Structure 1
Amino acid sequence: MWTLAIVDDDRQVLGGMSRLIPWEQLGIRPIGEAMDGEEGLRLIRAAKPDIVITDIYMPVMNGLEMIEQLRKQQFDGKIIILSGYSDFDYARKALRLQVDDYLPKPASPATIREVLQRVIAELSEKRAAENREQELQDRLMQYEPYLEREWVKSVLTGGTFSPPTGPYRMLDRLGWKGAQFMMLALEIKRQGRTEGISARDWHLFRFAVGNTVEELARQDGLRSYFLELHSHHMTLLLHKPLSWPAEAFRSEVLALAGRIIESVDRYLQVKLRIGAGLRKDDWTAIADSTEEAFQALAERREPDANHPCVYVYTDAGFRHPAARNVRPVRFFQEMADAVRTFDEPRALLALEDFASSDSGVAQLSPGELAALGTQLFAILSFTLYDSGHKLDDELPPADLSKELGLIENAQQWKAWVAEKVKRICRRFTPNENLKHKETVEFIIQYIHEHYAENIHLQDVADQVYISKNYLSTLFRQFTGETFGDYLTRVRMEKAKSMVLEKKLLIAEIAERVGYRNVPYFTTLFKKHTGRSPTEFYRA
């Protein structure tokens, strides 16, 4: 309900206006009257009405002086001038003070209703816009941890994800401004305790490894960011202020890597290998350190003197000069993400980009291509194992080595990878499609049964034990709509039926289809049908 104050030095006008305004019909509540500008100023400051109707000519302080004071104090309510005079100078000053409308003295009931309806419509639109803005801010706050993680993953792997708030806010949140960085790449070896375990236990092992890694970094006083990448690979970004001695920072990182390997082995009976990239002086070079760390891990040519399972990157670690230009980390991540959902076109597009003529892949030796293929297939194997699928029967290790040994150039390697990706996606997709279709059908049924409640995608994801992001992708693939758009459409269709029944007030209908904010509901209804609920009712 809107609130209204009247300021006029004529008691008859005050009484007449109070009688002529259709308060209940317009959804307005009176909150006070004043008989001069100074008294009106005190009333408006205290009550903060949505609408003010004021005379111009009044004692002590006139209406325009009062309005000027209100605008200086950032009063943003609607102001309607009430006057029996026609004065160009006053009209011009009123426009400058952003007066919203004008009522002549005396004003007819029809004119009063028309002017008030107009300013109320503007207030409703303004409030709806504010509500939309607030909802957007709330969503951004809700999704900020996810957005931060996606941005960090992009920075670490050389991706292109940009946060809506821009990178500098993220840099402040993470403490990356004026810092130096060094990347560790961690690989869980599939042997001993981790061999032959279930997918569920494999997830638990990775979770336990992550907790141990982060705790050790905290104990050492190093600021860190731990991130799981594809399957059995993880990253640990470490940073300290640039004022910290570079060699001391490097020594601390390598010592921490050694303790991580020892502690994970001792407490979890899990074997790790770790690659260390070079130290960087700027956050934009973090992806280079990631590539170096994984290159050191893949080559395993320069173990740390004190820790034989920690491999340190050097330029000498490349067997062929062209390999310096090949940056596989981002490619491996994109392939793992695509194969996880059996998205063949996405996987082939990532392959096309990675093996393009200017990527350096064409210059690799047959041995380097074989090593790259072995890494990729291991990652895809681990990725599918997470989903309960095994690739050993698709291509046993002995056959894998044999096939890769026959590859002589980049074109053959690209064709080999494409053929494997197609076989994997087409082999598992039919059953997965059936399961995914049933999941989406459950979501649709859930929406139709719970549309009146304050439901979110996370609520449904919890019901089907799937991550919110993956579920969002599935839902859009099968329905062509986002979860939010589909929910809104269901609610609007239900609302249309209720409006046409002509049994309920608009506010009641809004509440019954899940909206507590009536102006926001009205905005959505008009966007969906092209008419407001009232117009739809009368049509």
Structure 2
Amino acid sequence: MKLMVVDDNKQVREGISLGIDWNEYGISKVRAYEDGAKARDDLVDYCPDIVIADIRMPNLDGLELLEEVRKENQKCRYILLSAYSEFEYAQKALRLGADDYILKPVKPRELVELVMKNITSLLEMQKESELYYEVYEKSFIHSILNGDEIENIKKFQEFMEKCLGLRFDEKRAVVGKIKIEQKNLISQKRPITEEETDKIKAILKTNKYISLVDKNNTFIMICPGCSSEMKNHIVAMEIKREFEKINQIFPELIIVVGISKSIGLGKLAEGWKEAEEALEQKYCYKTKVFFSFKEIYPMMKQAIPENLKKSYMEKILEAVKIKKKEDTQCIFKAIYEECREKNYSPREIKKFIEQLYFYLVRHMGMNSSREFEEEVLHGNLYLTDTIDKFEEYLFDAQNVGKTKEREVYSATIRNICTYVEEHFMETITVDALAEKFERTPNYISAKFKRETGKSFTDYLMEIRIQKAMNMLLYTNIPINEVARQTGFGSYAYFSRIFKKYTGKSAGYIRDRRQN
């Protein structure tokens, strides 16, 4: 707490400022002034929490000083010293915004009690203000993320200036989306630490950027914008340089920012969408740290031509069928270079990769992989990593090498596997298999488990679930009919087993295909 004492009477001034141990009452700094003019000149630099001032002073009296204090700091507590003859002035001062007054001659105990009362009010007001702005900040973030515009621009400016020290004189801003990822990992595996978050926030605030933290290692950045194109270009270049420096401070992280054009404060949600679109470009540029919507938008094509997608899918299918790994890699490289060169929308590239995946599953008879879909198709990967993972998946022994895997099984187990794939829709039991292949049920069960690593029941269920998955994705057959055609006795049983093995409901899979 900081106290300012203003009185032209030296005895009163020093008695208040030096005669009381203010540090004992939580006031760490005290400054004394002999007239109001000198106190006014020091208001901004000193920024007092409490002012004790005489009403009658040369150059600038207590009422005039009160007006100056209120211009600079509405929260500062103002206590007037007045004689009985100046009581009317004291009443006027209270109407003008003074918080209290005390009559001369001043008694130290009464003054301390009055000051402590005002300190309590000040702390309560600060606590209420902090809570208000904390709630406002959450509301503000929610509005931006949900596409709602800022209704009260004046309140927003007040929040920015009082809490973050940012002035938006032109009522324009540049909005940024900051994403933080680990440099050593293909996809995000852990949240950044609280220490890292605090350090990044401090760096951003030092550079006059707001940094409101959202979940998933994402920050919202807002800084003042300009109506001048040249000035905005300078702002963008400053942001770029700052984030290059920030990345040097955190060698284990990649900190990427996408920024909007300069927009009016009433369109911050629109700016957030532009920042998101700019940041999406990181999908194709693994090491780039800065993306500007203004620079990217004119170049960005929205969709890959259908004939080009079809050509790539057919070429990869042919290469995979004949197991030419080098040809497959060359085609994927061509896809990567095409996407980079033509600046296709990252969303459209991701859609194409997903379309390619399901095309190959359908035409190759490959088993789809929920783990692959979550990590690669829907995960937080760059295009280069997506392609690398896709190539690994295509040549994984469980997919392309399915036949080769079965070659290590005995003739009996290979014949059982073939029989199950051909008759999975029928009722199949170990007893029935034992009779068909002229073995005992115990022999079949033990041998199947030993060679495949799973029970016959689990194997059968996996085959049925895979067939059901393909039917849900690639046909319009009703779900209850899918259940019947894949060998499940009832829809309820099918739903329970499908959810157990896939983690998703059959309805969810069908809806995803339709969307």
**What is the TM-score of this pair, normalised by structure 1?**
0.37
Q: Of the two, which has the highest radius of gyration? A: 2
